[in-house]
Chains A and B, each alone.
Chain A
Amino acid sequence: MIRFLIKGILRDKNRSLLPVVIVSIGVLLTVFLSGYIRGVMGDMIDLTARFQTGHLKVMSKAYADNQDQMPNDLALVDLSRLLQELKQDNPKYDWKPRIHFGGLVDVPGPGGETRSQGPGTGLAFDLLSPGSSEIDRLNIQNSLVRGALPATPGEALLSEDFAQKLGVQPGETITFFGSTMNGAMAFRNFTVSGTVKFGSAAMDRGTLIADLGDAQDMLDMDNSAGEIVGYHNAGAYEDEDARSLAAHFNKNHADGDEFEPVMQTLGQQNNMGAMLQYTDHMAAIFVGIFVFAMSLVLWNTGLLGGLRRYQEFGIRLALGESKGAIYRSLFTEAVIIGLLGSIAGTTFGVLFCFLLQKYGIDISSVMQDSSMMYPNRLRARMSLDLFVIGFIPGLFSMVLGNLLAGIGIYKRETAQLFKELEV
């Protein structure tokens, strides 16, 4: 019976192709939009993850307690061993050490004496290794205002406003003065390779970006770093995965020492948990309404599809098929069409979402002035429910529409349906 119906569906293009295509498109839209809306609503969380929290972050316990003060004296030591362990145990994540530091940026005049100076905040990460994921992650290339990215050790970037305040041009030398991990004085000269714009006044006012190696050297932090951030290779934050990973890591490293490494998830930092919850909640409402709207559209499709087949039902009744049999075949056909459409739509929808999550659409070229702290890529966010969500409009409402239309079979007299058959 089903095979017969499938044959029928396949051979009658109007019964098959069009509804399947429409259902697929509808399902695709539902799935894609659901993933996309999560991405758009999470863009600020995404930014926080990129700049501050990572999807996961490893710090020493003491450092974590005082994070706001950038306490590098409490930084992680034995970095290479820790990094190796993280990479080995959690290859799903990209692990990157970073150092935040504070101090004075001083510009020398002709005689080597202070020409201008200002307090600055430093951020150090892997800038120099070829193809470093951090450059793309922090959107540095697009945020360059003048000059170029550092290409050799000893080069650094300044925020544009800071450079202007200090009166420094790319190519000039500045001295950073701060304190080392051990509390001693830290000095280092940097050549300003370029300037960047963050788009956040607080950061634009006084930020220095240096390569991790330079900062380690300057701050006497050989083989140490303030933090190691981890980013899921698939691009989006996975709360459950991150939680279990962090719990596992923390259990392994719980030795009661105040400098033991601790791993925190995005949700556990900066009050992002509440933010995540809020976003998830909002996204769920959005997705719910959208699924409902799409259900209505496809229900309508099903209904109209059923209505237009009254002639056919008339003939079939005339040929002696029972109303029940016709109704059942209508139902089965709707299920088959709904399933085919939903599967196709879900497949493509999920695929698009995945691509949009991983790569994103770079919109920085469309923006007049790009800067680091603005969302510069449109991204979707994958989640498991995307695999099932499309079936609600695609299968259930489609079938429901058909079934509603089919009620007409019972209502109408055979003669009447037959009459509609007039050729």
Chain B
Amino acid sequence: MKLAFQLAYRNLLGAGLRTWLNVGVLSFAFVIIIFYNGWIDGWNQQARRDSIAWQYGFGQLQVATFDPFDPFSITDAHAALPAEDDHLTPVLLRLGTLYPQGRTMSIVVKGIDVNQTVVDLPTSALTASKSDLPAIIGEQMALASHLKTGDEVLLRWRDIHGTFDAATVTIAGVFPNQVPGIDKGQIWVPLKKLQDMTLMPDEATYFIADANFQHTEIAGWKYRSQEDLLYEINNIIKMKKMGGSVMYLLLLAIALLAIFDTQVLSVFRRQKEIGTYISLGMTRQQVVGLFTVEGAMTSIFAAVLGALYGTPLLGWIAHTGIAVPMNSQDLGIPIADRMYPVFGLGLILATLMLVVISATIVSFLPSRKIAKMDPVQALKGKIQ
């Protein structure tokens, strides 16, 4: 077997250009497989990443009675935190009614610290606005309410005692996003303003944690970790993996097609060589082994070559992402849309294993033909 490896190694190096062509193509296929899967994973995880960036942060500390899916719970879900924490960004939720063009929309008014940086919400637009009560809304909300930047609209809400109040809100910006949780049926206003409006100074409905937040039990509050908040999205991602795995197999098929193709040609072209091996005393099985090892070794060379240029390339792409130009005219606040592929170590190792193993199998299949060859004819190079 050792001989087979040595011979295979020499044969491959000896073949020069042809080997490198194969190795090159195979390594490219190899990198593409990883890139593709990373991309699909990135695509699947987009919702997860967006939700973290726009909505969940690194977890949320919520008033214990708050139930994000029960608007009724919002009325009573407000409290002040016993001690301030620099790693928490307060958000206060209140029910309100918006009257765009005489229509009625029941909405949630969300007050957020205008200087926050924990989520991507463009709260700086709230600071920049000169209006008395500025608000930013998501593009879905803009679409549903027919509101655009600069529009004024009447908002009615109730203060802590249930007394009605109403004021004109100026839309300071419309932000494009893919996260319905921060967009549909809601408007974002400065926290201080909302606290004043509702007579709820220093109160919040929940806090968004940053990366350095350390949770300790606080009576009347519940902490929901990032993973906890992402439960649903994680489930969807799991389901979508299925679709990705089919892709993976299809991509693997290209790589194997390349190996198979090369191998068939090798067996055909190198008949004299095969004849020589057999006449020198190698058994047919050993020759089959030699050719199989050659094929498998091509895939290992490909993996090494692929790793050489693929690692920095993919690493760079994963880091900087790929800009996806979006047609976002008159949406107000431009936000660069980037797609970040996700390359897991598991994915890379599994791909490596799978490519080498399947390359070996695919190399073996055409080589079996050797076992049926007449060595004399083969030695003569006669096509059989």
Contact = CB atoms under 8 A, between A and B. Distances in A.
B83 interface: no
Interface string A299-325: 011011101100000000000000000
B196 interface: no
Contacts of B184: 68
A36 B185 contact: no
Nearest to A393: B254
Contacts of B178: 275
B199 interface: no
Nearest to B262: A304
B21 A303 contact: yes
Contacts, number: 137
A304 B235 contact: no
A41 B257 contact: no
B337 A278 contact: yes
B261 A300 contact: yes
Given A26-B257, A281-B324, A289-B32, A300 B243 contact: no
Interface in B324-349: 324-328, 337, 339
Given A274-B328, A366-B242, A202 B69 contact: yes
B254 A271 contact: no
A387 interface: no
Interface in A335-363: 363
Contacts of A275: 178
Q: Size class of A's contact patch?
A: 35 or more
A221 to B, nearest CB: 21
B28 A69 contact: no
Contacts of A281: 324-325
Contact of B235 (A29, A202, A374): A374
Contacts of B250: 29, 32-33, 36
A99 B12 CA distance: 68
A241 interface: no
B239 A367 contact: yes
Interface string A70-83: 00000000000000
Interface in A262-294: 270-271, 274-275, 277-278, 281-282, 285-286, 289-290, 293-294
Contacts of B21: 300, 303-304
Contact of A278 (B28, B244, B257, B326): B326
A201 B28 CA distance: 42
B interface majority secondary structure? helix
A274 B253 CA distance: 33
Contacts of A296: 25, 28-29
Contacts of A282: 43, 324, 339
Nearest to A297: B258
A33 B243 CA distance: 12
Q: For B43, B72, B251, B322, which residue has the most chain A Cβ atoms within 10 angstroms? A: B43
A233 interface: no
Nearest to B21: A300
B155 interface: no
Contacts of A293: 28-29, 32, 254
Contacts of A297: 25, 29, 254, 257-258, 261
Given A199-B232, A201-B69, A274-B327, A36 B43 contact: no
Contact of A43 (B143, B144, B185, B243): B243
Interface string A185-203: 0000000000000011110
A199 B236 contact: yes
A376 B238 CA distance: 11
A116 to B, nearest CB: 14
B380 interface: yes
A67 B43 CA distance: 29
Nearest to B104: A69
Contacts of A65: 103, 146
B190 to A, nearest CB: 25
B254 A36 contact: no
A353 B177 CA distance: 32
B246 A68 contact: no
A22 interface: yes
Contacts of A289: 32, 35-36
B381 interface: yes
B84 interface: no
A277 B327 contact: yes
Contacts of A274: 139, 176, 326-328
A7 to B, nearest CB: 18
A66 B185 contact: no
A236 to B, nearest CB: 15
A86 interface: no
Interface string B17-60: 01001100100110010011001100100000000000000000
B139 A199 contact: no
A119 B67 CA distance: 14
Given A271-B143, A290-B32, A308-B269, A278 B324 contact: yes
Contacts of B260: 22
A33 B257 CA distance: 15
A26 B260 CA distance: 12
Contacts of B70: 205
Interface of B: 18, 21-22, 25, 28-29, 32, 35-36, 39-40, 43, 69-70, 72, 103-106, 139-140, 143-144, 146, 176, 178, 184-185, 232, 235-236, 239-240, 242-244, 246-247, 250-251, 253-254, 257-258, 260-262, 264-265, 268-269, 322, 324-328, 337, 339, 380-381, 383
22 contacts: A22-B257, A22-B261, A29-B253, A33-B250, A36-B247, A40-B244, A66-B105, A67-B144, A201-B69, A275-B178, A277-B327, A278-B326, A289-B35, A289-B36, A297-B254, A300-B258, A303-B21, A308-B265, A363-B242, A367-B239, A374-B239, A375-B236
Given A36-B250, A297-B25, A304-B21, 12 more contacts: A22-B257, A22-B261, A40-B243, A67-B144, A271-B140, A271-B143, A274-B326, A285-B322, A289-B35, A290-B32, A293-B254, A297-B258
Interface of A: 14, 18, 22, 25-26, 29, 32-33, 36-37, 39-41, 43, 65-69, 119, 199-202, 205-206, 270-271, 274-275, 277-278, 281-282, 285-286, 289-290, 293-294, 296-297, 300-301, 303-305, 307-308, 363, 366-367, 373-376, 378, 422-423
- Which 5 residue pairs are nearest across A and B when measured between Cβ atoms? A40-B243, A374-B239, A205-B69, A300-B25, A297-B258
